[in-house]
Every structure is written in structure tokens, then in C-alpha cells.
Amino acid sequence: MIRFENVGLRYGMGPEVLRDLNFHIPARSFQFLTGPSGAGKTTLIRLLFLSLKPTRGLVRVFGRDLSTAPKSELPALRRRIGVVFQDFRLLDHLTTYENVALPLRVLEREESGYRHDVVELLRWVGLGERINAYPPVLSGGEKQRVAIARALITQPEVLLADEPTGNVDPPLARRLLRLFIELNRLGTAVVIATHDIGLMDQVDARRLVISDGRLEISE
């Protein structure tokens, strides 16, 4: 579904942060992306979300070669990928419900067609009671789940999550992990960036390990 061949990335004139990346994210797969702090996990998530362009190599997304795809095609490709950023990026002046519904509003969908789905999804992530709350009054774990729900509302084929358990206590981390596993069981490919070994040990999943800018895969 997403394939990298000999991909390298540098910021500006800096050194190559990532080099010679060769891997594939298959449909319906589940993997962790790991490595020490500063190794390049967030950078790789941004490459996978098409918000960064590689400085060399080939990225193919849903069969399209990014280097030849016109810029106008990027939003449609990106819509097939859900992402949960480390800092959530919620809008403080919108309620939980409105934050999650935002991607659908952007697509100009009718609210009557999606209201039920948004409420159902909020219940699924355990926020049924927080539908009308605003982000500033939510806990870190609640914000995390709003961000997850917003990433999922458009039913993406791939979900990328950057340190999704970084701000939550171990029981909630386990609960979020169960949510990702359930999502994967329903057919979504999942990529979780984390350096939490305890979290990774709970699932028998492929690990993409970045170290010294290169990626090793342990099955």
C-alpha cells in the first residue's frame, strides 16, 4: 500500500536524517515504528503522511509514484491515510464532536449523514460523555482519543499514530492499544511510532527499528 525504495531525507542543508529506507506497509498490517529519541520516527511518519517529500528515492502510495503524481492529487491520497500527531492538533474553540466531525465538514458532507457515525465513534473510544466538551478541559488521554477519533472518522486505509501512549498512564495505554488492535482487525493497516518497549511487548507485531538513520525490520 505504501512502499519506500532507497528513500533518504535531509532537512535543508543538514545531514541525512534518514537514509536507504526500503520497506512496505501492506494492507491490513500492524507494525510498530521504534528507535531512540531523535532517531527520525516523527520524520518517517511525516513522510508516510505525505507532508514531507523525500530528498531521494521512491515513495509509492496506493500505487502512485509520488515524484510524478501532480500536487493536486495529494489531498485525495492523504485522505486515505489517518494520522494522530504527538501534539494532537485539536482546535480549542470546537467541541469534541466538532473536532471529530471537522474532516467531514471539510469534505462538505451533510451533518445529517454523519452525526450518528461521529457519536458512535466517540463512544467507541470511550468519550460518549465528553461529546460537548472543549479540548482545554479534557485530560491528556481524552485529547489523545479525540485525535484518534478524528483520524478515523473518514475510514482511512492506514492509521499512523505518533507516540499515541506518550501522555497516558499504563491502563489507558493498554486500552488504546486494544483500540488499535480492534481497528486493525476491522481491516485498517496500523503504524504506531513508540519507544515504549512495554507496549510493543504486548503485541506480536513487526517492528520497524530506526537507528543511525537506517531502518531494520524485525518480524
Ligand X SMILES: Nc1ncnc2c1ncn2[C@@H]1O[C@H](COP(=O)(O)OP(=O)(O)OP(=O)(O)O)[C@@H](O)[C@H]1O
Q: How many residues bind ligand X (CB under 6 A)?
A: 12
**CB neighbours of residue 115 within 10 Å:** 13
* Shortest distance in whole angstroms from residue 41 CB to ligand X: 4
CA 59 to CA 77: how far, in whole Å? Answer: 13
Stretch that binds ligand X, among 34-42, 107-115, 118-126, 130-138 (CB under 6 A): 34-42
DSSP β-ladder status, 30-34 and 206-211: parallel
Stretch that binds ligand X, among 9-17, 87-95, 109-117, 148-156 (CB under 6 A): 9-17
Q: Is 129 in the site for ligand X (CB under 6 A)?
A: no
Sheet holding 2-10, edge to edge: 16-25, 2-10, 56-61, 64-65
* Shortest distance in whole angstroms from residue 123 CB to ligand X: 31
Contact pick of 2, 31, 40, 160 for ligand X (by CB under 6 A): 40
Q: Grid coordinates in use for 8?
A: 533518504
CA 20 to CA 6: how far, in whole Å? Answer: 4
Contact pick of 8, 16, 17, 77 for ligand X (by CB under 6 A): 17
Calculate Rg over the CA atoms of the chain: 17
Q: Is 216 in the site for ligand X (CB under 6 A)?
A: no
Q: Is 132 in the site for ligand X (CB under 6 A)?
A: no
Stretch that binds ligand X, among 30-38, 69-77, 106-114, 174-182 (CB under 6 A): 30-38
Stretch that binds ligand X, among 38-46, 54-62, 74-82, 123-131 (CB under 6 A): 38-46
Contact pick of 43, 99, 144, 165 for ligand X (by CB under 6 A): 43
Compare residues 110 and 212 and give the one whose CB is closer to ligand X. 212
Compare residues 42 and 154 and give the one whose CB is closer to ligand X. 42
**Residues 61-120 contacting ligand X, CB under 6 A:** none
Binding interface with ligand X (CB under 6 A) = 11, 14, 17, 35, 37-43, 195
